[in-house]
Structure 1
Amino acid sequence: MYHHIRVAAYEPDPLHGPWREEMKVLRLGEDLHAELAGMHAEADKNSVHPRRLPVRRLNSLLQAMAPGVIATGRNAGTDGRLPWLYAREAVPPDLLAPVVGAWAAGMHREDDDSEGADLEERLRSGDPAETVRLPHWETELIDLAESVLSAGGTAEPAARLYSLLPEWISFRLAARTFRTGGTTLHFRVESSGDGARLVSWPPQRYERRRQTWYYSACLTITVHTVPFAPRFRVHVSTQVRRWATRLDVRPHQLGGTTVLLDAPLPWPEGPDRGHRLMVNTLGYDRRSKELAWRRHSPAPLVPELDIVRNYPRPEALFSDPERWINGSGDVAAGIVYHPSIGPHEVGPGLMPRERADLDAWVEEGLRPLLTRVPDLTRVTRSNTPSLLPRSGAGRVPSVRDAQLALQRRAALTRALNGRPLEIDVFWQSPETREALLAELPKLIGLPAGQQVPSADGETWQWQCEGVDIRVRARPAGPLADALPTIRARGRLRAVRLAEAIEGRCGLVADRADPLLGGAGVVITEIAGKERFAAVPDSDPKHALRIAWARQGRLTQFVNSPDDTDSALEHRARWTWLDAFRQLGAISPPAHRVGAGIPGDLQYAALWLVRHTRKGPTRCPVHRLVAVRVRPGDGPGVIEGWDAERAEWVPYPKLLLLLSQAREPAASGGKETGTGKLVDDSTAPGGSRPTARPGVEQDRQRETERQIRALLFQLRDRPTLLLADAGNLRQCWPGLRNGALDRDLLGFGAEAAQRHTLYGHDLRVLLVRDANARGEVAEWYAHDTEDGVGFAEGVWGTADTEGRVFASTASKPHTVAKLPKGLMKLVPTAQGRTAPGKTAWNPGQLEITVLGCLSEKALTDSGRAGDPPDRPAEWATLAHQLRYHDDYPPLARPLPLHWARLAGEYVLPVAGTK
C-alpha cells in the first residue's frame, strides 16, 4: 500500500528570494490603437464593439513569426496603454511592421489590402512627422512571483501571470532536451489561452496494420490557486498528443480541428530558435462551401510574410495530412487527432512510470525558481464505505452479489411505494432486447420473467414481495429515426429544432398508453451520436426525452451494438442501474468514518445547469438544481427542490418538472435566475450575441437568493452541503478561491458571515476536479519501496488543521492489466506494441472543508463546550460517497452525481409560433 502521492504542481520557492526577470514590453499606444480601431470599424460596420480590436490572430502571428516574443498581454485590444507584447529582446520595426500590416490587411476583403500595405509602409518609415508609428519598446523588471494574499489566506497571482508565466516556463523547458530509453525528445511551445503546451517535435512513429501512426508527448502548463494556500501553483499535466494521418470524414463534416504549423522565421537576419508551433483551426466554411482556416487562424497571413516557402492550403492538408506532418521543404503541419475523424492505433494516456519521468525532468528544469509542492500523505485507511465488489469482465457471482440484489430490490420497493412499475422497451436489435430482459432479474434477485398475453408487443411480468414490474418490448420503428432537418434562411436554428421536436412529440403521443398507471420508464435503443454527427440537430435523444416526459414517463437510452465497443451485457446492466437511479431507487452507502458524523445527517447537493445556444435544444438556460437525501427516511428518501411550488418533491417528479422549461416564442432567449427567459437575440450582421446589461448580475443575485432559501429549508437537522466550485462559482462568486474563508459563507457584496448562521449543524464541502483547465494537478503514487503507481484514498498535508484534501479512486479493471512501467514514448524491445495501449490515470478530486464545527466556529456560535469536528473525517465522508453499489467510483460524491444527472432533463424548447 502506498502511503504518499506526488502531485505535478510547483510553487515559487521562498528560499530563492525575489524572482524578477528583465523583459522588453511593448504597448500599442493610443495613436496606433485609434488608427487600427478605425480600420476595424470600417471593415466591420456591424461590430458591436468597434474599439475592441480582434487581436487574437495578430497575437498568434507575432508569437510564431516575431523572434523573441514570449507572450501577449490581456485586453491590449481594448486599451492601447496596456502591455501588449512581452519579449526576451526588442523586435525591430522592420520585422514588426510587416506582421501588423499583414494583419490589418486581413481585416479587409481579400481583394483590397491597400490599407494594410499603406499602414506597413508608414510603420516602417519611422518618420517623426507620422502621427502613427510603432511605439518604443520599454524595459521592465517583471516579478514572476507577484501575488496578493486574500483575507482567507489564499495567494492570488497577478492577472498577467496566468498567461505570461506558462509561456516563460515553456520556453525555459523547451531549451532543454528530454532523454529517455536512449532516445532524445525535443519540445516546441504551443500557446493555449491562459496556459501553454510543450509538444515533442517531430512526432514519434508507430507502425501498425501496415500504416504509420504519429504521436507526441504533450505537457500542459497552467497557473492556479488552491484554497488557503500561501503561494499560487503551476500545474504540469502530461498526455499523448496524437496526429491524424487520414481523415475518414467528408469536408462538410469537419466542424473545426486544431492544426499546428511548424515554419521557420521568414526573416534572414533573425535568429530562428525553432521553439514555437503556430496554432490554427481547420474547418468547413458553410458560407463559402469549402474548407478554410477558421477562428482567428494566422495561417492565411503567413504566405504574405514569406513568399519563398510553400505553405499548406486547407484542401491539400485535408486530403494528405501525412505528407505535411513529415514536412514539405522546411514547413510541416500536424492535424491534432480527434475520435470523430476516424480510428487511431495509438492509445491515449501515459502510465505512472513515464509520467513520473517527465515530471522529474520538469522539476529539474524549474530549479531553483520553482519548487515542488510537498507530497500528500494518507489520512485514513477507510477508503470505501464497505467491501464493494468490482465490476468487470470475469467477475464471479458471489454471496455479496446476492446481497446487493436484495438491497436493490428493497430500494425499488421503497421508491415504488406499492405502485406498479411499467417499462416500455423500444428496440432496434433483438440482441439488445434479450440482454435487457435477461439482466433485469439478475440485478434485483428474481427468476426469469413470465411472459403474459399482450395485444401490443411482447410483455414480461415480475411479481415478488411488493414489486410488480411489467416490461413491454416493441420495435422502435420511426421513434428512433433521425430528426428531420430543414434549412430555412431567416429562421432561428432553435425554432427549426423545436418544430422537429414537436413532430417527434406527436409521434410519441400516438405510441403512448393513455391507461398507464403507476411509475413509468421508457428505454429506447438508438444509434450512437456519431451516426448523427454529419447532420446537425438530427439526434433524436433529447426530443424523445422531452416527448416522453410530457407523457409522464422517465427515459433511458442504450446504444445499438454496432455503435459501441462495450459488451452488450455491460451496457444492459448500466441501463437498468440508471433507470433505478431516475426512479429514486438508490440510497447513499453506509459510511465507515466514525462517530464524528451525526447519525441523522442529511445530504444536500447543488448543481447549476448552464446551456448556451450550442446546448442540446439550441436554447440558452440557467437553472439551479438542488437534491436532498435523507438516509433511512423511507419513501421519498431522494428529493429535489421544486422552486415554483417551494417544496421538496420525489426525485422522479423533479426530473419531469425540469423537462417543462420552455422558451418564449419571440426570444432567442437567455434565462434569468428566476427561470424566465430574456431576449438575447443575435445582433445585426450575425455578430456575437450579447446579454442585456445586468443579466449576469440578475442571475447571480437570484441564484444566491435561491441558495439562501434552500439553506433555510435544511435547518431542521444536521446537514452536509455539497457543491462543485467549478460549476457554481459563476453564479455564486463567493466560491472563488480568493473569496473563501474558513467557516464563512459570502453572498453578493455583503461581508461573509458565519456559516452556522445558515444552519446550526451545517457543514459545507466544496469539490473541484481538473475541469478541462487543469485546475487540480495530476498525481501518481510515490513511495521509496514501491516506486510509482496507483493508489486510492484520502490524502492531506502535514497540517492537522488543514482544510484541503485529495480524493483518489481506484483504477479501472482495464488499466489494471497494464504494467505501471509501460513506456509509450520510447517503447522497449519487450513492449513494442505499448503505443497502442490505452492508459488511464484516476483524476484527483479536491475536497475543501469550507465550513465545519471547528473550535473557533463553536466558540463564535456560543457552543465552546461541544467537541469540534475533524476536517479529515468530513473529507473522508465525501470520498466514501463516491462509492456505491458496484458502480465504478464516481467522479463526484453521490448526491452531487444525482444533481448533475438531473440536469439532463433541463431541455427548454423555443417557441415555434
Structure 2
Amino acid sequence: MRVLRLGEDLHAELTRMHAEANKGSARPDRLPVRRLNSLLRAMAPGVMATGRNAGTDGGLPWLYAREAVPPQVLAPVIGTWAAGMYREDDDTEGADLEDRLRSEDPAEAVRLPDWETEAVDLTETVTSPGGTAEPAARLYGLLPEWVAFRLAARTFRTGGSTLHFRVESSGNGARLVSWPPQRYESRGRTWYYSACLSITVHTVPFAPRFRVHVSAQVRRWATRLEVRPHQLGGTTVLLDAPLPWPGGPDRSHRLMVNTLGYDRRAKQPAWRHHSPAPLVPELDIVRNYPDPTELFTHPERWINGCGDVAAGIVHHPSNGPHQVGPGLMPRERADLDAWVEEGLRPLLTRVPDLTRVTRSNTPSLLPRSGAGREPGVREAQLALQRRAALARALDGRPLEVEVLWQSPQTRAALLAQLPKLIGLPAGERTGAAGDDTWRWEGEGVEIRVHARPAGPLADALPVSRERGRPRAVRLAEAVEGRCRLVADRSAPRPGGASLVIAEIAGKERFAAVPDSDPKHALRIAWARQGRLSQFVNLPDDTDGSLEHRARWTWLDAFRQLGAISPPAHRVGAGIPGDLQYAALWLVRHTRKGPTRYPAHRLVAVRVRPGEGPGAIEGWDAERAEWVPYPKLLLMLSRAEGPAAEPAEEPVAEEAAEGSGEGAAAGGEPLRSAARPGVEQHRRRETERQIRALLFQLRDRPTLLLADAANLRQCWPALRNGALARDLLGFGTEPAQRHTVYGDGLRTVLVRDANAREEVAEWYAHDARGRVGFAEGVWGTADPESRVFASTASTPHTVAKLPKGLMKLVPTAQGRTAPGKTAWNPGQLEVTVLCCLSEKALADSGRGGDTPDRPAEWATLTHQLRYHDDYPPLARPLPLHLARLAGQYVLPLAGPAR
C-alpha cells in the first residue's frame, strides 16, 4: 500500500495552532483530526483508511491508499479543514495556512509529507499466552475497509435484479450500503431502504485465527421527519457526492458520514459531531450541496438527488414510523453470505459450520401446547408453578399491590390477568363504595390489589430550564419534588410485601422536554417507602395487545419479588446436584444515564434452586451478606458511596475515534471518560469485590456467570487476549488456578453482538438446501473446545413469515415483503473458561476424579435461558436477574443525594 504520515513539520504547526486556539482544552496537544479523516476518506481518491492516533504523533501512519494522492488534491483538503477549525474564532493563522496550502505549489507552501510504499500484512497476528490469536492493532480499522472496497467493486445479483454497494466508514469497522436505495410503495407513499452489511474484526477465545464478521441488516431512510427541529438528538446522514478531481481510483464507492442535529444557539438544524459536510462546498463550488434546514424539511427530495448530489437521512424510530420492517430473512442472508464468500476467496475463507453438541436443547419444561395435548393443560401447570414460586417468595406474608392507572382498559386487563397467571378464581372485591380493592387468597398466597387513578403522579417532571446550574442537579431537584408528592398521596400498607404498578406515557411523549419522563423519579420515590415498582405504558404508546402487556407486567413484578424458578436442567450426571449459580453485572452510568449522574456498581446475584424464600439473593457489599432479591433492589436504589462517582471529564476526540479497537478485540474499550486515576480505582475495587464474593461461594459447587463485554472494563483479565483455560487473573498478579477460589468453582463467560457485531449473525441450513433457524447448542468438532454457540427459536410473539420471503427484491408473490419484520434470534457465545478439566484436577491434587466435559456446562448455560415462560431469555436466568437489578441504581446529584 501507499502510506502517508502527517510529518513532524506539519504536525507541529497544526498542533501549535490548535493549542493557541484551544487553551482551555483538556488535551490541546491532540489534534482533532476526526473531521479531516472523514473528509479525506470521502474526497481524496484512492484513500482507503486512516490510521489511529495520528493526531498525537506525526510519525505514525496516517493515510493508507492504493496509490498516492497528488498534492494538488491533498493540500486543498487539509487547508479547508485547517481554516474551518478556526473560522468561528476568526483565526488569521488558520486562514493564512489555508492560503498557503492553496498556493500554486502547495507541496512547497507547507512541507507536505511524501508518500511511502509499505507492505501491509492483513493477517498479522500475535498469539496470546492463552492461545488466542489477536490481530495487529491497525487491522481493526484497515482490514474492514479493505474488505468493503473489494466487495463494493462487485455487484450482487438476486431475483433477477442487481444491487450496487457503497462504502460507509464507521468507528469500529466499515459498512456496505446498497445505493441507490430500494423503493417500497405503501399507504400512498414511497418508502426507501437499502441492504446494509457491517464489517468488523474480532477475536474468539482460544481460536488460532481472528475473524472478520459480516452481518446483514436493512438500512431504512427517512422521507419525512415527524419531529420538531429541536427534538433532533443527532441523526446520521450519508452524503453521495462525486469527487471534484479528475480521474483516480475508487470513484463512486464512498458515502460520506455526517450527523444532523439541532443548534440551540442558532435555533435551527445544523451539522454536528465533526461532520465534513460543511467543508465540502468549499472544495467544490460548482455543485449544490444540502443545507441542514432544507435537508430536514425535504429529506425525500435529497434522497432522490439534486443534480448529481444526493443525501439520505438514516431512519430512527424516534423520527416517526416507517413502513419498511427491520431485518432480513435467513434465505437473503444466506445469499449475501455466499456472495461475500465468493468475493473474498481465497484470501479469506468462511468459518466452518458448527454442529450440534447435544439434543437436550431445553430443560425439563412442562409440556408445550400443541396437537394431541389437552387445551389449557400447559397453562394450568405453569400457573401452578408460578403460584408455588410466589408462595415461597412471600413466605407467609400478604402481597399489597397498588395499581395506578390512567386508562380503564389497562386497569381491567391487569385485574383480569393476575388470577389467570397464578391459577386462582376471579378476585373478591372487598373495598367499600368508592374503594376499588380486590383480594385473592389460596394455597399460601394472599394478594390485595388497590386500584386508583394515577393523577398528577404520572405527569411530566417539571425540570428547571436554568442553564447556569448542572443538568444533573436540576433533575435531582425535580425528582425530590416528585418524591414529596408521592409521599403525600400514597404510603405503603404495613404487614407484607409492597408493590406499585403504574401506568405512564411512553418515553416518546416526554421527548420534547428533556428529563421530564417521571419513571425513574417514581421508582426512587416508592423505593424510599420500601416498595417495588413496575410500569406499563398507555395503550396508544406501545405495540402489542393489551392482554399481552398486562401479562408481562405481572411476570416482571413476580421477578422483582424473587418469585421465579430456575429451570430443572436435562444435562446429565456431570452436573453436581447441589450446584448454585452466581452472576455478576456491572452497572455503569455516565452523565447521559437515567439521572444524568455517573454511577459504577457491581451487582451480584446468587440462585440456589429449590431453597425456599432465599432461593434468589443479592450481595450486600456494605454488610458483606446475602439478602433476598427484593431487598437487593431497594438497597440499590438508596445506595451511596459505591454508586456515586466523581464527575467525568470531556472525552478527547482522538480517543473517541480509536475507541473501537480494544472493544472489537473482545478487550477493554480504549475510551475512558473518567478522570485519571478514577478508572484504576474502579478496577481495583471491582476486582476486590469479586474476590470477596468468590470466598463467600466456597461452601458448595458454584457456576459463576459473567458477561465478558459488560465486565471486562473493570476486570481486564476477561479480555479475550488475557484468557487462559482454567485460570483466573486479577490486577497485575499472575493468573491462578480457579480452584484456588473454590474446589467446585466453574466459570462461564457469555457474549452477544453487543452493538459492535462481536458475535456473528447466523442461519441454519440442511442437506436439502433449506434455510431457516434452529435452537440448540453448537460447537466445533474439537472435543476439547471451550467455545460454543447458544441459539434459541423464534418467539411465538413474532409473526411467522414464509421462509423464502425476499425483502431486498420482492417477488410477485410477496409484494408486501418489505413491510414485514424479519426477526433474527441472536447468537449467544458461551465460553467455558474454568471447569474441572483433567489438567485442573491434576494440578489441584485430585487426579482420580472424573473430569468435566465443557460441552455439558455450555449446555447447562444454554438451558438456563429457559424458565417457566416462553420466549427464552437473551442471557442465562441468574445473569438476567443481575442485569435487571441495575434498573434500581439511580444516584442523584448535588444536595439531593
Name the CA distance, whole Å, in 2 between partners of 1:498 and 1:443.
38
- Answer whether contact 2:71 2:106 (CA < 8 A) is retained: no
Structure 2 match to 1:529: 507
Q: 1:564 to 1:128 in 2, by over 3 A?
A: closer
Q: AA paired with 2:59? A: R
* Match 1:628 to one of 600, 603, 606: 606
Name the CA distance, whole Å, in 1 between partners of 2:634 and 2:446.
22
Q: AA paired with 2:808? A: L
1:37 has 2:20 as partner: no
* Match 1:783 to one of 766, 791, 800: 766
- Answer whether contact 2:774 2:792 (CA < 8 A) is retained: yes
- Answer whether contact 1:123 1:133 (CA < 8 A) is retained: no
1:233 has 2:216 as partner: no
Q: Post-superposition shift, 1:463?
A: 1.5
SS of residue paired to 1:487 = coil
1:473 has 2:451 as partner: yes
- 1:42-121 maps to which residues of 2 (within 5 A)? 42-110=20-88, 112=90, 114-121=92-99
1:329-352 Cα distance to aligned partner (Å, 9 max, x none): 000000000111111111110111
- Answer whether contact 1:432 1:572 (CA < 8 A) is retained: yes
1:349 has 2:327 as partner: yes
- 1:386-405 maps to which residues of 2 (within 5 A)? 386-388=364-366, 397-405=375-383
What do you get for the CA RMSD once the two structures are aligned? Answer: 2.0
SS of residue paired to 1:372 = coil
SS of residue paired to 1:569 = helix
Name the CA distance, whole Å, in 2 between partners of 1:677 and 1:485.
23
Structure 1 match to 2:178: 200
Name the CA distance, whole Å, in 2 between partners of 1:633 and 1:228.
37
TM-score by length of 2: 0.95
SS of residue paired to 2:845 = coil
- Answer whether contact 2:598 2:647 (CA < 8 A) is retained: no
Structure 2 match to 1:17: none
- Answer whether contact 2:303 2:312 (CA < 8 A) is retained: yes
Structure 2 match to 1:434: 412
- Answer whether contact 1:265 1:272 (CA < 8 A) is retained: no
1:459-492 Cα distance to aligned partner (Å, 9 max, x none): 0011112211100000000010010121112200
Q: Post-superposition shift, 1:387?
A: 4.0
- 1:843-858 maps to which residues of 2 (within 5 A)? 843-858=826-841
Structure 1 match to 2:730: 747
Q: AA paired with 2:515? A: D
1:218 has 2:196 as partner: yes
Q: 1:390 to 1:822 in 2, by over 3 A?
A: farther
* Match 2:584 to one of 603, 606, 614: 606
SS of residue paired to 2:421 = helix
* Match 1:567 to one of 526, 545, 549: 545
Structure 1 match to 2:664: none
1:557 has 2:535 as partner: yes
* Match 1:169 to one of 147, 168, 172: 147
* Match 2:857 to one of 867, 874, 884: 874
* Match 1:493 to one of 471, 474, 486: 471
Name the CA distance, whole Å, in 1 between partners of 2:710 and 2:107.
54
Name the CA distance, whole Å, in 2 between partners of 1:316 and 1:341.
16
Q: Post-superposition shift, 1:691?
A: 3.0
1:72-128 Cα distance to aligned partner (Å, 9 max, x none): 000001111111000011001110011001101111134837534432443456979
Name the CA distance, whole Å, in 2 between partners of 1:855 and 1:817.
46
1:737-776 Cα distance to aligned partner (Å, 9 max, x none): 0000000001111111100100100000000000000000
Name the CA distance, whole Å, in 2 between partners of 1:579 and 1:563.
20
* Match 2:429 to one of 448, 451, 462: 451
Structure 2 match to 1:138: 116
- Answer whether contact 2:46 2:248 (CA < 8 A) is retained: no
Q: Which deviates more, 613-622 or 283-292?
A: 283-292
- Answer whether contact 1:122 1:133 (CA < 8 A) is retained: no
* Match 1:677 to one of 624, 638, 645: 645
Q: AA paired with 1:313? A: D
Q: Post-superposition shift, 1:396?
A: 8.8
Name the CA distance, whole Å, in 2 between partners of 1:509 and 1:436.
24
Structure 1 match to 2:721: 738
1:376-427 Cα distance to aligned partner (Å, 9 max, x none): 00011111113456699xx995212111111111111111111111000000
Name the CA distance, whole Å, in 2 between partners of 1:457 and 1:678.
47
Name the CA distance, whole Å, in 1 between partners of 2:315 and 2:567.
40
* Match 1:811 to one of 770, 774, 794: 794
Structure 1 match to 2:669: none
1:334 has 2:317 as partner: no
1:862 has 2:845 as partner: yes
SS of residue paired to 1:171 = helix
For these two proteins, the number of residue pairs brought into alignment is 877
Structure 2 match to 1:302: 280
Q: 1:336 to 1:391 in 2, by over 3 A?
A: farther
- Answer whether contact 1:93 1:124 (CA < 8 A) is retained: no
- Answer whether contact 2:366 2:382 (CA < 8 A) is retained: no
Q: AA paired with 2:836? A: L
Name the CA distance, whole Å, in 2 between partners of 1:713 and 1:344.
51
- The gaps in structure 2 that reach 5 residues or longer are 657-671
Name the CA distance, whole Å, in 1 between partners of 2:496 and 2:432.
18
- Answer whether contact 1:123 1:134 (CA < 8 A) is retained: no
Structure 2 match to 1:799: 782
* Aligned sequence identity (%): 83
SS of residue paired to 2:57 = coil
Structure 1 match to 2:487: 509
Q: AA paired with 2:781? A: A
Name the CA distance, whole Å, in 1 between partners of 2:487 and 2:572.
52
Name the CA distance, whole Å, in 2 between partners of 1:682 and 1:239.
33
TM-score by length of 1: 0.94
Q: 1:173 to 1:690 in 2, by over 3 A?
A: closer
SS of residue paired to 1:370 = coil
Q: 1:850 to 1:497 in 2, by over 3 A?
A: same
Q: 1:267 to 1:519 in 2, by over 3 A?
A: same
- Answer whether contact 1:640 1:651 (CA < 8 A) is retained: yes
- Answer whether contact 2:257 2:275 (CA < 8 A) is retained: yes
Name the CA distance, whole Å, in 2 between partners of 1:232 and 1:129.
41
1:192-240 Cα distance to aligned partner (Å, 9 max, x none): 0120000000000111111111000000000000000000000000000
- The gaps in structure 1 that reach 5 residues or longer are 1-22, 663-670
Name the CA distance, whole Å, in 2 between partners of 1:277 and 1:396.
58
- Answer whether contact 1:591 1:880 (CA < 8 A) is retained: yes
SS of residue paired to 1:523 = strand
Structure 2 match to 1:909: 892
Q: Post-superposition shift, 1:517?
A: 2.2
Name the CA distance, whole Å, in 2 between partners of 1:270 and 1:174.
16
SS of residue paired to 1:483 = coil
